[in-house]
């Protein structure tokens, strides 16, 4: 093992996969379990080299289902934990993703999206896992998912994903697409003292008074981990505040409503988006991930032609910035949504704005992203 050293700081040139690894380490992640898969393997490779340098542990598991299970266990042992994967592996993680939500286990999943369904396009881009991160596991859940658009944001929002997972006690997804994962750009890593780091709440009561799933006013329970002197009982079954299985409708209603509402009612604290030229706009482009970079250029080109168009870039796709979309729809003629899928976020936009505005999908099935000219053509069709 290499001598222990501090987290990287300063200016670096790296790809998005590597930046996600460094964001995790900067957030305090010290356990990674995963399985190699294109186009996410570079995250695992980076973590495999870097975690021993900061006193952490890397384990290559036999598959993605086991990887997800391992990071849940590590989190309950008191360690910040992460895995990385792509589409087929993400599908295998869904059962234990739901377990993580039900047991309120903080952890992070970095999913570098590639073309699907099934094996699909292993080396090429897609944005086809957006709805899966929200609805892929069975049952009703609250969800937080970030969609970065650059290596710098892969660092920033992997770190923030850890903060939100610790604050709200659930698995949080970082949905980087293949282009963002594999592009190389400058990444600035702040000094440790300049980072905002959130750690899970700990109980303030005596062990004899502690209820592992009794929430505070923010609907999030303090979390005692194994070895801290508190008794905890963790199960995927519907359970009461002691963590004991209670199989009836009343317990289900109370528990599941809280799991959803702790995200829904705290959405203003979680939701992030970027807005460009929306004041006075008649059309708005909604784009995320690598496509948003092309959309910004398309909006610039359109405004040079005196077209009143703006742009909203969701940074958190879950929770979705629906209140802002509704407000914009009161003044906007139409929304244009370029996505590398056959329509996912477009349906969320349509749900939010359909009573006031049109929604126009510009799809690509995967393998390539839109050019600025293609998005500009879509804008002009709605003028």
Digit-coded pLDDT (tens) for 83-94 = 999 999 999 999
Phi, psi of 126 (to 5 degrees): -160, 165
The mean pLDDT of 27-45, rounded to a whole number, is 98
On whether the CB atoms of residues 364 and 370 are closer than 8 A, the answer is yes
Structural domain boundaries enclosing 314: 273-381
Distance CA 203, CA 224 (A): 6
- 138 and 46 share one domain: yes
**CATH number reported for the structural domain that contains residue 116 in this entry:** 3.40.50.970
Environment class of residue 282 by beta-carbon count within 10 Å: exposed (0-12), middle (13-18) or buried (19+)? middle
pLDDT of residue 4: 53
Work out the pLDDT band at 7, boundaries 50, 70, 90: confident
- 282 and 153 share one domain: no
The answer to whether residue 268 is domain-embedded is no
- 52 and 143 share one domain: yes
- 21 and 164 share one domain: yes
The answer to whether residue 96 is domain-embedded is yes
The answer to whether residue 81 is domain-embedded is yes
- 19 and 167 share one domain: yes
Work out the pLDDT band at 1, boundaries 50, 70, 90: very low
Distance CA 49, CA 66 (A): 21
Digit-coded pLDDT (tens) for 318-332 = 999 999 999 999 999
pTM: 0.97
- 137 and 283 share one domain: no
The answer to whether residue 71 is domain-embedded is yes
pLDDT of residue 2: 45
- Tokens 């290499």: give the residue: 2
Which residue among 160, 194, 228 closes a domain? 194
Environment class of residue 331 by beta-carbon count within 10 Å: exposed (0-12), middle (13-18) or buried (19+)? middle
Q: What is the DSSP string of 169-218?
A: TSEEEEEEEHHHHH-EEEEEE--GGGS---------S-GGG--TT---TT
Could you tell me if residue 139 is left (phi over 0), alpha (psi between -120 and 50 degrees) or otherwise beta? left
Evaluate if residue 75 carries a pLDDT over 70. yes
The mean pLDDT of 37-65, rounded to a whole number, is 97
Write down the mean pLDDT value for the chain: 97
The answer to whether residue 206 is domain-embedded is no
The mean pLDDT of 30-59, rounded to a whole number, is 97
| Sign of torsion over alpha carbons 242, 247, 253, 256 | positive
Which residue among 140, 166, 194 closes a domain? 194
The number of folded domains in the chain is 2
Distance CA 135, CA 137 (A): 6
The mean pLDDT of 136-160, rounded to a whole number, is 98
Which residue among 150, 179, 194 closes a domain? 194
Work out the pLDDT band at 175, boundaries 50, 70, 90: very high
**CATH number reported for the structural domain that contains residue 335 in this entry:** 3.40.50.920
The mean pLDDT of 184-198, rounded to a whole number, is 97
Evaluate if residue 5 carries a pLDDT over 70. no
What residues pair up with 187 in beta bridges, in sequence order?
Answer: 12
- 187 and 294 share one domain: no
The answer to whether residue 59 is domain-embedded is yes
The answer to whether residue 322 is domain-embedded is yes
- 151 and 286 share one domain: no
Helix, coil or strand: residue 14: strand
């Amino acid at each position: 093992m290499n001598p222990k050293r501090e987290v990287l700081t300063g200016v670096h040139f790296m790809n998005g996969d590597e930046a996600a690894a460094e964001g995790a380490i900067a957030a305090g992640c010290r356990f990674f379990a995963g399985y190699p898969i294109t186009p996410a393997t570079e995250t695992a490779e980076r973590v495999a080299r870097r975690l021993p340098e900061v006193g952490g542990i890397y384990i290559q598991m036999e598959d993605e289902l086991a990887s997800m299970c391992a990071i849940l266990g590590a989190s309950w042992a008191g360690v910040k934990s992460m895995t990385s994967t792509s589409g087929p592996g993400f599908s295998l993680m869904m059962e234990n993703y739901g377990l993580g939500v039900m047991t309120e286990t903080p952890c992070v999943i970095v999913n570098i999206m590639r073309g699907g369904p099934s094996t699909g396009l292993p080396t090429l881009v897609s944005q086809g896992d957006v709805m899966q991160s929200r609805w892929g596991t069975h049952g009703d859940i609250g969800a937080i998912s970030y969609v970065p658009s650059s290596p710098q944001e892969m660092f920033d929002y992997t770190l923030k994903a850890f903060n939100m997972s610790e604050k709200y006690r659930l698995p949080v997804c970082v949905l980087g697409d293949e282009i963002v994962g594999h592009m190389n750009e400058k990444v600035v890593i702040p000094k440790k003292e300049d980072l905002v780091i959130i750690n899970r709440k700990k109980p303030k009561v005596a062990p004899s008074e502690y209820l592992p799933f009794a929430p505070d006013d923010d609907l999030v329970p303090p979390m005692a981990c194994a070895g801290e002197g508190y008794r905890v009982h963790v199960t995927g079954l519907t359970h009461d505040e002691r963590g004991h299985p209670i199989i009836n409708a009343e317990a289900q209603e109370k528990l599941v409503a809280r799991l959803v509402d702790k995200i829904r009612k705290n959405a203003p604290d979680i939701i992030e988006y970027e807005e460009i030229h929306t004041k006075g706009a008649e059309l708005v482009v909604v784009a995320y991930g690598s496509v948003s970079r092309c959309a910004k250029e398309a909006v610039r080109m359109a405004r040079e032609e005196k077209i009143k168009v703006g742009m909203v870039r969701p940074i958190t796709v879950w929770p979705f910035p629906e209140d802002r979309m509704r407000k914009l729809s009161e003044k906007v003629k139409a929304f244009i949504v370029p996505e590398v899928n056959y329509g996912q976020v477009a349906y969320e936009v349509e749900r939010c704005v359909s009573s006031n505005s049109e929604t126009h999908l510009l799809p690509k099935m995967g393998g390539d992203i839109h050019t600025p000219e293609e998005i500009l053509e879509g804008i002009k069709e709605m003028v």
